[in-house]
Amino acid sequence: MLLVLSAEHRAHLGCLPRAGGAAVGELGRLALEQLRRGAAPRACETAARKLNVGVDTIQHGVEGLVYLLTESSKLMISEVDFQDSIHVLGFSDELNKSLLQLYLDNRKEIRSILGELAPRLPSYHSLEWRLDVQLASRSLRQQIKPAVTMKLHLNQNEDQTAQVLQTDPATLLHLIQQLEQALGEMKMNHCRRIVRNMK
């Protein structure tokens, strides 16, 4: 699977040859620091003085590397696919090898950082439900008004929470049909590929 770079990301990565071959190591270090701790403008200024290039060049190079490394690590693209993805940039073989080595050395750590940044969503624990039917009221002697009440128990960060939901059977039936359709779509090859790359 190839990583498709937008024109903006290509432009940012285009700063790398101007910064020089030795700069890839420095910019790679800054990109990893940005992933770990967030942006560090002073570190970019220091690197710009050290490499004798503009601060904007360093910042764009770091942003481009952060995108390249995070997207490649998310998709866990192979060595060959990574090389094919950066080949379109027209860099020298030496620069391509440096970028590949940077990716191979750090992809596990980047995936771990991205995993920590992912939101922790609640997970299903159990469900209680009850069907209530109103047969009559003072104003209407003959009516049938069904309602389904559900208590959804969820786990979140080792705590249990509960949500109470109420709906009519027609809406519940529609919801079930939509969920079954979504599950059916998950069995398609396209969706399987996406899910496999998300893991």
- Owning domain of residue 111: 7-117
Claim to verify: residue 107 and residue 14 sit in the same structural domain: yes
Rounded Cα–Cα distance for residues 125 and 143 (Å): 36
Residues 96 and 157 in one domain: no
Q: From 99, 117, 135, give the residue that closes a domain.
A: 117
Q: Which of 49, 82, 117 is the last residue of a domain?
A: 117
Residue 180 maps to a domain: yes
Query: Which tens digit of pLDDT belongs to each residue from 139-179?
Result: 777 778 899 999 999 998 778 999 999 999 999 999 999 99
pLDDT digits (tens, 9 = 90+) for 75-120: 888 888 888 888 878 888 888 888 888 888 888 888 888 887 777 7
Q: What is the percent of the chain where pLDDT is above 90?
A: 18
Residue 83 sits in the same domain as residue 135: no
Residue 73 has pLDDT above 70, yes or no: yes
- 29 and 85 belong to one structural domain: yes
For residues 100 and 135, membership in a common domain is answered with no
pLDDT of residue 37: 82
Q: 138 falls in which pLDDT band (50, 70, 90)?
A: confident
Q: What is d(CA 167, CA 68) in angstroms, rounded to the nearest whole number? A: 46
43 token code pair: 């570190």
pTM equals: 0.59
Comparing C-alpha atoms, which of 76, 75, 79 is closest to residue 99? 79
* CB-side neighbour CA atoms (13 Å) of 137: 7
Q: How far apart are CA 110 and CA 163, in angstroms?
A: 35
Q: What's the mean pLDDT in 3-18? A: 74
Residues 131 and 106 in one domain: no
CA-based nearest residue to 72, from 119, 13, 20: 13
Out of 117, 139, 167, a domain closes at 117
Residue 74 confidence (pLDDT) above 80 = yes
In a domain, 16, yes or no: yes
